[in-house]
Each structure stands twice: as C-alpha cells, then as structure tokens.
Amino acid sequence: MLLHRRAGRDVHVVFTQDGGDEHAEDGRTREEQVRIREDESRAVAREMDIPEPRFLRSVTLSGTDAERVAAELRAEIERVRADAVFVPFFLDYNYHHQLTNYVVAEALAGSGRQPRVYGYEVWGLTVPNVVLNIDDAIDEKRRLLALYA
C-alpha cells in the first residue's frame, strides 16, 4: 500500500471481518476489541493520508453474512474503480483469511471490473509468483505497524 501511495495511486482499505475474535485472550469484550482494532486502523489511514477504512464487520463470513459482505465488496470495487485488490494469501493458516478469499472471489464474479488480485502473506509461507521488494518502505511500514497495539 505504501508503494502504491508513493506512486500517486489511490488506496482504499476494506476490512471484511470485525477483528474481535481474540477478545477473550486479552480480557476484553468483543465490542472493546472491535473498537480498538477499528481505531488503530483509522490511525494508520490518517498517517498514510488515505480515506478512512470501510468496516463490514462480519463475524462469520458464512451464509447470508458472506453474501452481504460480497455484495458490499463488489459495490466498493466498482465505486473506487479498483484495478488491484490485495487479500491475505488463500493458503494462509488463518481460516478467516481463507474465507475472505472466497468472499472476494464472489464479489469479483458479480462485478464488471477485473482487477488484478494479489495475495499477501500474513500467517504462513506463501508460494509466490510475484515478489515485491519493499526495502524502500520498510521503515515506514514498521512505524505504521507499531500503531497497532
């Protein structure tokens, strides 16, 4: 995202899930965890000078919730005229990240746009077909990541 921003491209962020799953581990309520995650994400967006993220607040990404999220993603992709979509790699060890790929695929299947889709590593080893050198942005990336408590 930093390299896209530096190249003068628009960056829009959409969170499909509410981020509240680890609330019990931290001794927080789910609502507190969701608020913290969203506040952290807003702070990063401000620092990057990009629009505030959209929060679709799915808990399960299944059934009618998955359909709703796919429809909202499709509308957002069309609204911003996305030419690239970044999503956690589909073989990521995190089940919710895997589900996100299905929802993104559903959103794109019903869309008039055909953006390039890039999977990025979060919780596992990817099998890359594209490697992007981020050395020039690593210090800024670390600074922004530190905004997530």
| CB-CB contact of 62 with 54 (8 Å) | no
Confidence label for 27 from pLDDT (cuts 50, 70 and 90): confident
Quick check: 88 pLDDT over 80?
yes
49: left (phi over 0), alpha (psi -120 to 50) or beta: left
Confidence label for 9 from pLDDT (cuts 50, 70 and 90): very high
Residues 67-81 have a mean pLDDT of 96
Quick check: 24 pLDDT over 80?
no
Residues 95-115 have a mean pLDDT of 92
